[in-house]
Amino acid sequence: MKKVMICFLLGIFAVLAVAGGGMAHPPSDLVLSYARADGMLTVSASHSVPDGKRHYIEKFTVSVDGQKYYELDVGFQVDNKEALAVFHVGDLKAGAVVEVYAKCNRAGDMKKTLTVE
């Protein structure tokens, strides 16, 4: 009887562990927008979550032409549909490649690039 109960409990824990991991996900999209007039890079990370204090985009990293400019650690997600971050990158020359990396605190990440025109 004890073996059956232990197997049953282990089965329940396994199902809960898999279900919890299935809820975690990377951002579904990253939209990068650069405004030359003020040198600002806006990053919108689509990331729908039920509770932004427990499941959120925890890190943004911004690089320009392979050089790291910013690494932003985030404590929670204010909006339950997206995480938004704005960075001052200055006056970038045409052809500069901006790369943004966003990481979910539970699982997954995404990277996108923008070539300045």
Contact 112, 60 (CB under 8 A): no
User: pLDDT tens digits, residue range 97-113?
Assistant: 999 999 999 999 999 99
Residue 21 pLDDT level (bands cut at 50, 70, 90): very low
> Is the model's pLDDT at 1 over the cut of 80?
no
The pair of three-digit structure tokens given for residue 52, joined into one six-digit string: 């932004």
Sketch out the chain's domains with CATH numbers: 25-115 (2.60.40.730)
Could you tell me the pTM of the whole model? 0.79
| Mean of pLDDT values over 72-85 | 96
Q: DSSP string covering 68-86, please?
A: EEEEEE-S--SSSSEEEEE
